Amino acid sequence: MSRYAELQVTSYFSFLRGASSPLELFEQARALGIAALGIADRNSLAGMVQAHVAARATGVRLVVGCRLDLADFPPVLVYPTDRAAYGRLCRLLSLGKSRAGKARCHLLWEDLVAWGDGLLAILVPDVADEACALHLRKLKDAFHDRAYMALTLLRRPNDQMRLYALANLAHRARVPTVVTNDVLFHTHDRRILQDVVTCIRHNTTIDEAGFARERHADRYLKPPQEMARLFGRYPEAVDRTIAIMERCRFSLDDLAYQYPDEVSVPGQTPQQALEVLTWEGARRFYPEGIPDEVTASLNHELALIGRMNYAPYFLTVNSIVRYARSQDILCQGRGSAANSAVCYVLGITAIDPARNSLLFERFVSEERGEPPDIDVDFEHARREQVIQWVYGHYGRERAALTAVVIRYRAKGALRDVGKVMGLPEDLIGTLSGQIWGWSKNADPEQFRDTGIDLSDRRIRLTLDLACCLIGVPRHLSQHPGGFVLTHDRLDELVPIEPAAMDDRQIIEWDKDDIDVLKFMKVDILALGMLTCMKKGLDLLAEHKGQRFALATIPAEDPLTYAMIRRADTIGVFQIESRAQMSMLPRLKPRVFYDLVIEVAIVRPGPIQGDMVHPYLRRREGIEPEEYPTPELEKVLKKTLGIPLFQEQAMQVAMVCADFTASEADQLRRAMATFKNTGTIGRFQTKLVEGMKANGYTEEFAERIYQQLEGFGSYGFPESHAASFAILAYSSSWLKCHHPDVFLAALLNSQPMGFYAPAQLVRDAREHGVGIRPICVNASRWDSTLEGPETACGRFAVRLGMSLVKGLANADAARIVAARGARPFASVDDLWRRAGVPVAALTHLAEADAFRPALGLARREALWAIKALRDEPLPLFAAAAVAREAEEPDVLLQPMRAGAEVTRDYNRIGLTLRDHPVAFLRDDLRQRKFFSCREAHEARDGKRLDAAGLVLVRQRPGSAEGVVFLTLEDESGVLNVIIWKDIFEKYRRVILAGQMLGIKGRLQKEGEVVHLVALEITDLSALLADVGNRDFDRGHGAAVDHSVETLSVKSRNFH
């Protein structure tokens, strides 16, 4: 039987060229009996780790390779024969990418020759002409016995004559030939998808693609005997594929990753340096003496870190955190690293091991043998400073961010396929508008109510192909902050390319790839709430003289917890979502650990594992706690017998079913990937049987297993919840005691959080905070605090010019600098002194920023601005223009109140005037719509109609298609539950409507109120008329069709 290795395979990591994943290719190769696959993506090794994993899973050899498209030479397939040659290939690709920029590569023949030592090179010719003969001679001279030429069927007229001529040419040049099939997909039925991605790449339609498409469907994997038959005249070229496979012995397993040394004291090993820093930190944190249990934890962790050689990693994270603190950048470690006592005493995390039961094996496991992963959050406004310090400190040849593979989701797939199929833009918009956010399916049933003819073959094919494209990689992007750092050159391990952002670079592999190869990664992440807290604490110190750090904010404050129990948490970290606000009055947090549970319990894992209601019943004393053994009570006592955290799941398995720490961690990992792989099932027997052997009933064991299985991919580590709970409490304390400071800090940290500035400002006003409008004589870029201080110690918040849409920071800075100590007297005065363009003044006038200080309404300010001109004028002409500007006053008709509110929303995203729905209240009363406040006061079970602006749409993955809406009117907000069948019935209205009317049934549980939707009406047309409304003049008498339509942008979450 013939043996054959396919050496020219393009996977879908040649972005928008190949149409099959590495796993599909290798599984098909195994089924066909192909000995090896040479993955040769275009100028890229992006898919090589996935190919490595697929090769290991299928037993088919991977030949690591790459197709180089050179600027001055035909394409060449290159394959490294050893580790050194692979390093040179990575350096070569990094060179080409650094020249060409993001997602491109510019290489010349001379570059390949310079870096080609140890590479096998296969020329990919087109026709046998003089140019080809010259290229063959060059190849032979440069690569000697490592030079080959590919024989590939193109399925064109005279194909056999072409092969014959090429073979003769190669023979004369003494270059051996080798057969390839130039594979683009694993089976022939992927041809149509390959045509689609080709059209996307060329930005053309399928009707106009012409020869940009492959001319035949022959580019799929074929069995060895078929290849032997097709190339019957060239048996030695077929056999040579095996010879090349055997010459290329390099494997990704050969990559030896070394972490950079982090020793500042000569003669110290990294482990010794870490131990010195750890005990210094411990003495600083526990000046009264290090508790015995902390000493034991530190000794245990340091010994394990020493055995695993992870000390340099901890030293790196410590040096990054130390740099941030030296620059007064707020930061906090989180995630599984918070299980580490070493991380705590180094100041990386804020979870005190003396007050929490930590499980270090959740973070570092000797049996698992995988590197630790420490996440550190920094202020999002200053994280770039930390990133650039890392590049500068370690060097750009040793530091880069990991990539993120951007894959098609339903909306993007539908839009791109629609363009390829030549559908009109409005039809594409209608189709994609029916898909929820990042949905991963495009079920035709979603489009039934759109009026689109789904029997049309082109539309139906568009939907089918969009489904096929979902999950296919589109391009590489950058990880938010996952750094790979190396001791030796990083660009000899993996190609590096420039990122889209200036002064950043990324490797071609994502975090899953580097996990496979056991590279260590440091996550430098951004968190908006850290920026908010830093700005808030700075404002508190500046205006009220109260100086706090996160760690010194008064703990366990009763007033703060009372506010949290009322679900008065708009703007607060983590506990501001609709689901969290519904849980707070039930859970009634009184101490910090209650907040830890609150953060973790409103997660898909506990909800799907049916842990929430039993926990609440036990907390209220309705249901007794159940502990069959003292061992289980020790593990679950603090969560009333319900396993809420990943660490508890691990401890239950260890204590009750005799799992080792390593097996328990495998269980945890299975829980984390359950949704994708279903691997948790293989632990069921071991867990249940182990618990039965230790005296537990089968029923109890099965119930524990069901709860653990419910964690799915959403199980939350206690350490992570505790890290988040610190910020939840800190931000709640700031809101409770200093709502003025809290609002200013939130506005200056946008965009972040669940709510838009309009809701944050409204909430602050309801808490007694005075809000002052944007003013050219008082506002800065950021929102600021203004006196005088009230009797209760509060300042007014002056809105900042950053809220003005279209206004540049530089123009605002010029206005503030020119204003100095002398306020502007007129529009003309501002223009002359600040030197800003007329467009900037127009943006300010549209935002009504001239009214507070100069008394100019919007229209008056815009009229004054029309007299100005941007071009510089001669001295005398300028004087004349100055007199010209002093025109007699023109009596301009004042804008209606509704038009003012509309402009406010459209220009700054909020209003300090009446709420838009207030103008529509008479119409709504006629239609029997309740206000949100009236709905809250109605009895449980009452059927009623309510209407309001759509603030938030949320469709959590755990909610099985249920959508949660938040409506707002002039009286307050109302939460709405929309069951899956109602959502499908009213999908178009729910996704597109800015203002909705909901007919439903009221559901009240204690202080938690929901309206369960039965019918939904789109009231957006009514909202569009707000600009024509006025309280004293009614509406409809003289509709001004030039009035703007109010636009309210909701926030959608998953």
**Residue range 9-36, pLDDT digits in tens:** 999 998 888 889 999 999 999 999 999 9
Taking 80 as the threshold, does the pLDDT of residue 202 lie above it?
yes
pLDDT digits (tens, 9 = 90+) for 982-993: 888 888 888 888
Say whether 993 sits in a helix, a strand or coil: coil
User: Is the pLDDT confidence value at 397 over 90?
Assistant: no
- So what's the pLDDT on residue 536? 93
pLDDT of 959 > 60? The answer is no
Share of the chain above pLDDT 70, in %: 88
Mean pLDDT across the chain: 84
Asked whether residue 1053 carries a pLDDT value surpassing 70, the answer given is no
pLDDT digits (tens, 9 = 90+) for 847-865: 999 999 888 888 888 888 8
Report the candidate in 108, 118, 412 with the shortest Cα–Cα distance to residue 254.
118
For residue 673, pLDDT over 60 is answered with no
pLDDT reported for residue 74: 93
- Of the listed ranges 142-146, 685-689, 794-798, 946-950, the least confidently predicted one is 685-689
- Point out the least confidently predicted range of 319-328, 342-351, 781-790: 342-351
- pLDDT tens by residue, 51-100: 999 999 899 999 999 999 999 899 999 999 999 999 999 999 999 998 88
Q: Burial, 304: exposed, middle or buried (Cβ in 10 Å; 0-12, 13-18, 19+)?
A: middle
pLDDT band at 364 (very low <50, low <70, confident <90, very high): low
- 3 state DSSP class of 774: coil
The percentage of the chain sitting over the pLDDT mark of 90, rounded to a whole number, equals 30
Here the tokens at position 392 are 């500068």
- Find the helix or strand (DSSP H, E) in which 320 lies: helix 311-326
Helix, strand, coil fractions of the chain, as percent rounded to 5 = 50, 15, 35
Q: Which amino acid is at 601?
A: I
Contact 754, 579 (CB under 8 A): no
Distance (Å, rounded) from C-alpha 878 to C-alpha 872? 8
pLDDT (mean) for 528-545: 91
Query: Which residues lie across from 373 on neighbouring strands?
Result: 521
Q: Please say if the pLDDT value at position 679 is more than 60.
A: no
Contacts with 733 (C-beta within 8 Å, 6 or more apart), sequence order: 553, 554, 557, 560
Specify which residues 920 forms β-bridges with: none
Task: Please check the confidence at residue 888 and state whether its pLDDT lies above 70.
Answer: no
Domain architecture of the chain: domains with CATH: 5-254 (3.20.20.140), 409-470 (no CATH), 606-713 (no CATH), 770-893 (1.10.150), 915-1053 (2.40.50.140)
- For residue 882, pLDDT over 50 is answered with no
Residue 990 to residue 953: CA distance in whole angstroms: 9
The pLDDT assigned to 445 comes to 61
Identify the band that residue 243 occupies on the pLDDT scale cut at 50, 70 and 90. very high
Query: Cα 974–980–986 angle (5° rounding)?
Result: 75
Examine the pLDDT at 654 and tell me if it is beyond 90.
Answer: no
Per-residue confidence at 355, pLDDT binned at 50, 70, 90? low
pLDDT band, residue 360 (cuts 50/70/90): low
Reported as a single tens digit per residue, the pLDDT across 276-313 is 999 998 898 888 888 888 888 889 889 888 888 888 88
Place 156 in a pLDDT band, splitting at 50, 70 and 90.
confident
Two tokens, residue 309? 């050689």
Instruction: Give the residue-averaged pLDDT of 346-359.
Output: 70
Task: Put residue 406 in one of left, alpha, beta given phi > 0 → left and psi -120 to 50 → alpha.
Answer: beta
Q: What is the C-alpha separation between 773 and 903, in angstroms, rounded?
A: 14
Q: What is the DSSP letter of 368?
A: T
What is the rounded CA–CA span in Å between residue 947 and residue 264? 64
Least confident residue range of 135-149, 323-337, 363-377, 966-980 = 363-377
Would you say how long the chain is, in residues? 1054
Query: Which is it for the CA torsion 631, 634, 637, 638, positive or negative?
Result: negative
pLDDT range class, residue 443, cuts 50, 70, 90:
low
Q: How confident is the model at residue 598 (pLDDT cuts 50, 70, 90)?
A: confident
Residue 873, pLDDT > 50, answer no
- What tokens does 639 get? 């969560």
3-state secondary structure of 752: coil
CA distance 49 to 405: 13
Q: How confident is the model at residue 730 (pLDDT cuts 50, 70, 90)?
A: very high
Asked if the model's pLDDT at residue 367 lies above 70, the reply is: no
- Please name the amino acid found at residue 88: R
What value does the mean pLDDT take over residues 884-913?
78
Contact yes or no for 206/198 (Cβ under 8 A): no
Positive/negative CA dihedral, 532, 535, 541, 544 = negative
pLDDT greater than 90 at residue 223:
yes
Tell the residue number behind the tokens 């209760």, with chain if given: 792
Residues 1053, 952: contact at Cβ < 8 Å? yes
Higher pLDDT, 604 or 574: 574
In this structure, of 492-496, 633-637, 939-943, the range with the lowest mean pLDDT score is 633-637
DSSP reduced 3-state for 239: helix
Residues 748/535, Cβ–Cβ less than 8 Å: yes
Question: How many Å apart are CA 677 and CA 679, to the nearest integer?
Answer: 5
Higher pLDDT residue, 1044 or 670?
Answer: 1044
Which of 440, 294, 311 lies closest to 357, judged by CA?
294
